[in-house]
Amino acid sequence: MLELFQHEHQPVKQYWLLMKVAPLERLQQMQKGLIYMNSIDYFSNLKGEDGAKVRSDELESTFAQFQTGVVRNNHRVEITLSHPSFGEIDLPKGTNVSMGVPSPQNTFIFCMTCVGEDKKGNIRHLKGDKYHMDRRMKKFGSHTLVINQPAKFFERYSDAINRVDGFFVNDYMDGGCGIVDYKKLSKHKGKIGLFIKDKLYDWQREYRFVLGANDSLLNASGALELDIGDISDISSIIETKRLIEEPMTVTRGIASLGADGKYHWRKLDN
């Protein structure tokens, strides 16, 4: 039934800046090339660990929520339960049903926070020309790794995937990357997929990478350790509190080719 919901929501791929908030030791490992990815099954059942309240999401492995008998995308789903002891029972119209992501233990995500425009051209958490990182981000870690050249980071990530057999990006992964959209899921009907989360998490301003991996590529804990090579040349590590206390300035501009054959830059009004 995935195809009934697959094309309902497509995430924005483009971003301007990527950041990873985590403990310093984990970020130093990342600078050396280690991308540590947990499965969506892990995040759905995360309890008891430090930071679990901001990292866990029970709906992480839910692909769609819908109601039986209600027409959606020119189709309606009807569900019948049957057993020799009681025959068949049709679920009444309007019964709430959810459908999970296939193979959640083999579907991995790597989450970052980003600066970039949504589908409406808005930058979340932008006040005037200042981008404010939410204070709650400190719960993820004391330091932040800033990717200074996002295009090169994506290139190295892609090259690492293509070098090894056993990685895959299926249709339900929506291209394997994108900005997370936030909705009130208690009232949401339709696709959730891997790029919609509850509004409760809006402050995280998440960009995520999604990747499928065969069992042979996983470590003893069932996680994926992807080596993309050293990225210290395209990244820097700073204290998270600096990004909270000293917001970034976002300046939009346009460069126009002049009669002198040179491009001249001018600031655009927000």
Q: What is the pLDDT of residues 171-223, one digit of tens each?
A: 889 899 999 999 898 888 878 888 989 999 999 999 999 999 999 999 999 99
Q: What is the pLDDT of residues 64-117, one digit of tens each?
A: 777 676 666 667 777 777 878 887 887 778 777 777 788 889 999 999 999 888
Which of 243-269 are b and which e, b meaning 16 or more Cβ less than 10 Å from the residue's Cβ? bbeebbeeeeeeeeeeeeeeeeeeeee
Whether 5 has a pLDDT exceeding 70, the answer reads no
Residues 6+ away with beta carbon under 8 Å from 187: none
pLDDT at 79: 75
pLDDT at 65: 75
Q: Which of 107, 99, 96, 90 is nearest to 42 (CA)?
A: 107
Parallel/antiparallel/unpaired status of strands 235-239 and 96-100: unpaired
For 40-48, what is the mean pLDDT? 75
Q: What is the pLDDT of residues 121-150, one digit of tens each?
A: 778 778 888 888 999 999 999 999 999 998
For 159-177, what is the mean pLDDT? 92
pLDDT at 90: 78
pLDDT at 132: 87
Task: Judge contact between 102 and 2, C-beta under 8 A.
Answer: yes
d(CA 248, CA 205): 15
pLDDT at 52: 45
Band of the pLDDT at 3, cuts 50, 70, 90? low
d(CA 190, CA 266): 43
